[in-house]
Amino acid sequence: MPKSLHYLTWLSLVVLLLSCVQPEAKPATQTSQELAWGVFEEGLYKDPARLKNLETRVGAKPTMVMWYSDWFTEFPMEACQDLSRKGYLPHIVWEAWKMGDASTLRLTDILDGKWDAYLQRFGGEAGRFGKPIMLRWGHEMNGNWYPWGGAMNGNSPATYVKAYRYVHDKVASAGGKNLIWMWSPNNGSAPLEAWNRIEDYYPGDAYVDWVALDGYNWGTSQSWSKWISFREVFAASLLAIQKVAPGKPLMIGETAASSTGGDKAAWIREFFPEVRRMPNLKAWVWFNLNKETDWRFDADAASLEAFRQGLQDPAYSMSVAHLVKLHQGH
């Protein structure tokens, strides 16, 4: 989830990178590449009526529905079963804490085995569910706002890698072999220092099925932020993940644009052709919440219409089955 950070230095770096590296633009009319999309709204994953209403408003059905679940919550069997029956892929952002309380859990607790029983229950229940689930564990680890982050609680990139592998192996050995593991850095590291590079958090190809990147256009909603394009949001982080995981399918795990500081509808119109140009990009999720700022694609009529029109692209035809198979063979 987006957090307020002092990114002025990072934003300057992005501008510098963009002046040197401009990806070759593929034609925006290209339709051979199939794409999937998803959405997060608070409580949407367990509210079929709201989900159906969203589909009516945008004129398209999301491939996946995303939500956040902490480690004081058991495996969401009922929600996963219901979503799967209705043709959606569950996408769980699995957060190792009691949500909102950074003092509840440390990476060293995980490595010391204090959470083994929970991991075994979760893995066992996931296996009993049996169908694919996108699982994004320990996301935005290169930031300084979650307790599993490299800058928090005496952690380091190496500690994070050990914990990621430990969680993966415990869950898989308990039966959760149907989970699709997503490694999900933030678009900018905080602090922006040499030891905190995105690349140093990569757990290895054997532990990662997909790479996901989180990033937002904060507009002028914060004292440190400014309006930037979708390409600017991900320029630096895309270069970093191409170094360590060049063959992995890519998802934008979270993105959105603020409603202050620029033309949101125009940003959304530009967003749709831009995602087509990102190497290996196969899916994205819109963070549709009025939180630190109004991220919603339907914050106003013009933005909603831009979003609706973007989803009419024939490329948005990827099935759940196709999405699930994309990581196989990598």
The reported pLDDT for the residue numbered 145 is 96
Q: Show the tokens assigned to 167.
A: 């969680």
Q: How far are the Cα atoms of 43, 81, 200, 311 from residue 86, in angstroms, in the given order?
A: 16, 9, 39, 20
Secondary structure in 3-state letters for 71-100 = CCCCCCHHHHHHHHHCCCEEEEEEECCECC
pTM for the complete prediction?
A: 0.91
Name the residue among 209, 206, 184, 241 with its Cα closest to residue 325.
209
Task: For residue 180, list its beta bridge partners.
Answer: 134
Q: Is the dihedral of CA 228, 234, 235, 240 positive or negative?
A: positive
| Amino acid identity at 90 | P
The reported pLDDT for the residue numbered 329 is 61
Q: Phi then psi for 108, rounded to 5 degrees?
A: -65, -30
CATH number of 32-325: 3.20.20.80
Q: Phi then psi for 128, rounded to 5 degrees?
A: -65, -35
What distance, in Å, lies between the first and last C-alpha atoms of the chain? 28
User: Cis peptide leading into 279, omega within 30 of 0?
Assistant: no
The reported pLDDT for the residue numbered 13 is 47
The reported pLDDT for the residue numbered 3 is 61
The reported pLDDT for the residue numbered 328 is 82
Name the residue among 270, 268, 178, 196 with its Cα closest to residue 237.
196
Based on DSSP, count helices (H) and strands (E) in the chain, helices before strands.
10, 8
> What are the pLDDT tens digits along the chain (330 aa)?
666 444 444 444 443 444 334 443 333 333 348 999 999 999 999 999 999 999 999 999 999 999 999 999 999 999 999 999 999 999 999 999 999 999 999 999 999 999 999 999 999 999 999 999 999 999 999 999 999 999 999 999 999 999 999 999 999 999 999 999 999 999 999 999 999 999 999 999 999 999 999 999 999 999 999 999 999 999 999 999 999 999 999 999 999 999 999 999 999 999 999 999 998 999 999 999 999 999 999 999 999 999 999 999 999 989 999 999 998 865
The reported pLDDT for the residue numbered 2 is 65
The reported pLDDT for the residue numbered 101 is 94
| Domain chopping of the chain, boundaries | 32-325
